[in-house]
Structure 1
Amino acid sequence: MKRKKVNKKWITLLMVGVLGLSVFAITPTMIAANEDSVVGIEDGEIDTIGSTIVVNITLDTAPNGLSGYNMTISLSEPGVAEIVDVEFPSWATLHSNSTLPADSFWVKACDAMNQTIPGDTNINLGKLTIRGDVQGRCEINVTVTQLDDDMGGDMLPGLIVDTGVLTVAQAEVSIPEFTTVVIGDTTRVNITLDRTPSGLANYNVTVSLTNITIAEMMSVEFPSWATLHSNSTLPADSFWMNGTDVGNLIVSGATSVSLGTFIIRGDAEGTGDIIITVTSMNNDESYSVPLFSTTISGQLEVISVLTIPGQSNPPTDPDGDGLYEDMNGNGRKDFNDVVVFFNNMEWIGANEPVQCFDFNGNGRIDFDDIVILFGEI
């Protein structure tokens, strides 16, 4: 029987075809290896100068595992903080780093035992211990120079790096949560900075009212430490103010520092908000003061005081403390005010704004308020 001759050309084409299918079959794996991964550093907040915090460096996903990395960590403002230590994850059986403490250092690690496997997520690349040195804010930057997977693939193409933000000794600017003023009268509102861990050099803030129909800001008073200061034109519904501590009177560690006091006049009954916007604030180390918020608000209410029965004029506040001692409205404090208060205590409690006559501050009108008024005459 005669054998058929095998065509070598067709065998060769068949083998090429099979090989091509094999390459096509593994292509999805190669694509997965090139999917965007993210190396990120946590944000950190150090409350007290000299204290430390630990932040994690993480790789979000490793489709083909992770064999090792080499990267450099640095702080954008070296004076604000310092990196004092690095802790490697358990999978990094081989690792090394440059000298610490430092403001910038390199670090590398290798997974010699293949403990990270394809598909792992949230892989810890290390933990940084950072010490806060002065009040301020800086970025924790990472530059990845090499990142390899278990297939020998380069993970750098398409890699996304998320920078961390470190805040040291955050401070808070505040005004009273609630401010009340009577129509035709004025009240004082103080702006306060809670602490200055690295002193205070200067500030610039804007003050504005959301409901300009009910009140107007009449004037501003600066604290004695702000020997150099200025403000925009007043009266106004919005104005800016700034102050500079030329004499270095606000030292590191000061608390409850007044930035200024502005006076508001009530024009019509109603409510609105007082908005404080901090446009700049610097400490004695020439760093911007990190604030919990650069926009602060407090509620403003404008109320009216009624004429007490039997009197010709409404009560007044002769000493400007927010309490209306002049019950008979004659412009001064006298014993007749005590008599009017005693005879109209129930009416005042039911018809007047209580806070204007609550001398003992217990939230209601009672005989103790009359006793306190008597003591002021």
Structure 2
Amino acid sequence: MVKLAHFLELIAVFFFISIFSTPALALSQPVLFFSPDLVESNTGDNVQVHLLMDGASRGLSGYGLIISLDTPDIVDIIGIDLPKWTGLQDIEKQSDSSYLIQGVDSNDNQHPGAPKIDLATVKVHAKAPGYATIRATPVMIDDDQKGRYETSPVAMTIVITGAGPVPLVPMST
């Protein structure tokens, strides 16, 4: 009977630990964002936006992200640069409007808590009036403790003006 009571106490302790540690883990997830998150440009212009991550409380050892465009008839991705701190890097064109980018912090430059970590600079060319959305979808983002962050995808909008009224930008959901 004493063994059963001790066993039930252990189960209760593990239960409470799992309940109270789950929100703490959820709060420690970093956030991806574009800077700026809205760009207004003219047909024929080249524009660049930065993809950043904030809140990497456990550091950053490497990442893989898909950068994609929803309307390649409005803008083209003409280049993607990864930051110099990524000792190992790879950019693979998946389609006319999608790229897989990968970077590894081989020199341990990104320490836990580093603010606003630069992940990529996306360069686009405005082809026609309208609006386009650039998305960054995480494939994996690894921390310095052999773990993995669970970050949400992020998007930004580019509004291209031409010889007509400024197009309406849809509300993001």
- Asked if TM exceeds 0.5, the reply is yes
Letter paired with 1:40: F
Verify: 1:290 aligned to 2:170, yes or no: no
1 CA distance for matches of 2:110 and 2:26? 14
Query: 2: distance between equivalents of 1:150 and 1:53?
Result: 33
- Unpaired stretches in structure 1, ≥5 consecutive residues: 1-23, 171-194, 197-280, 282-288, 293-377
Give the whole-Å Cα distance in 2 for the aligned partners of 1:130 and 1:100: 16
| Partner amino acid, structure 1, of 2:29 | D
Correspondent of 2:156 among 160, 164, 167: 164
Q: Is the 8 A contact 1:83 1:101 kept in 2?
A: no
Distance in 1 between the 2:78 and 2:95 partners?
A: 4
State the distance in 2 between where 1:102 and 1:49 align.
19
Alignment of 1:110 with 2:104, yes or no, is yes
> Larger Cα Rg: Structure 1 or Structure 2?
1
- Match of 2:90, SS state, is strand
- Tell me the amino acid that sits aligned with residue 34 of structure 2: I
Counterpart position of 2:67: 73
1:94 partnered with 2:64: no
Residue 149 (str. 1) matches residue 135 (str. 2) = no
Structure 1 distance, partners of 2:69, 2:154, is 14
User: What is the distance in 2 between the residues matched to 1:72 and 1:100?
Assistant: 9
* Superimposed CA distance per residue, residues 88-113 of structure 1 (whole angstroms, 9 cap, x where no aligned partner): 11211100101399421110000000
**Residue deviations 1:220-268, cap 9 Å, x none?**
xxxxxxxxxxxxxxxxxxxxxxxxxxxxxxxxxxxxxxxxxxxxxxxxx
Query: Could you state the TM-score of these two structures normalised by the residue count of structure 1?
Result: 0.36
- Aligned-residue offset at 1:81: 0.4
Which of 23, 32, 37 is the aligned partner of 2:30? 37
Q: Is 1:56 equivalent to 2:50 in the alignment? A: yes
* Conserved? CA contact 1:91–1:115, under 8 Å: yes
Which residue identity does 1:290 align to in structure 2?
P
Supply the AA of the counterpart residue of 2:156. G
Indicate if the aligned counterparts of 2:143 and 2:149 stay in contact, CA closer than 8 A.
yes
CA distance in 2, matches of 1:33, 1:96: 29
- Aligned equivalents of 1:103 and 1:160: distance in 2? 20
After superposition, the CA RMSD in angstroms is 2.6
TM-score under structure 2 length normalisation? 0.76
Q: 1:41: Cα distance to partner? A: 2.1
Contact 2:28 2:56 in 1 (8 A): no
Partner SS state of residue 50, structure 1: coil
Paired position in structure 2 for 1:186: none
Question: Is contact 1:44–1:53 with CA below 8 Å preserved after alignment?
Answer: no
Specify which of 65, 77, 80 is matched with residue 83 of structure 1: 77
Deviation >4 Å, runs of 4+: 31-34
Paired residues in the alignment total: 148
Map 1:1-377 → 2, pairs under 5 A: 31=24, 35-42=28-35, 43-99=37-93, 102-156=96-150, 159-169=151-161, 195-196=163-164, 290-291=167-168
> Which digits, 9 at most, give the CA deviation of each residue in 1:283-318, with x for residues without a partner?
xxxxxx5159xxxxxxxxxxxxxxxxxxxxxxxxxx
Describe the superposition over 1:188-219 as per-residue Cα deviations: whole angstroms up to 9, x where unpaired. xxxxxxx32xxxxxxxxxxxxxxxxxxxxxxx
| Aligned residues of 2:62 and 2:104 also touching (Cα < 8 A) | yes
The answer to whether the 8 Å contact 2:41/2:158 transfers is no
Q: Which has the higher contact order (CA 8 A, sep 6+)?
A: 2
What stretches of structure 2 of length at least 5 have no aligned partner?
1-16
Bigger proportion of residues as strand: 2
Q: What is the CA-CA distance between 1:57 and the residue it aligns to?
A: 0.2
CA 1:115–1:32 in structure 2 vs 1: closer, same or farther (change >3 Å)?
farther
Identify if the C-alpha distance between structure 1 residues 33 and 120 changes in structure 2 by more than 3 Å, giving closer, same or farther. Answer: farther
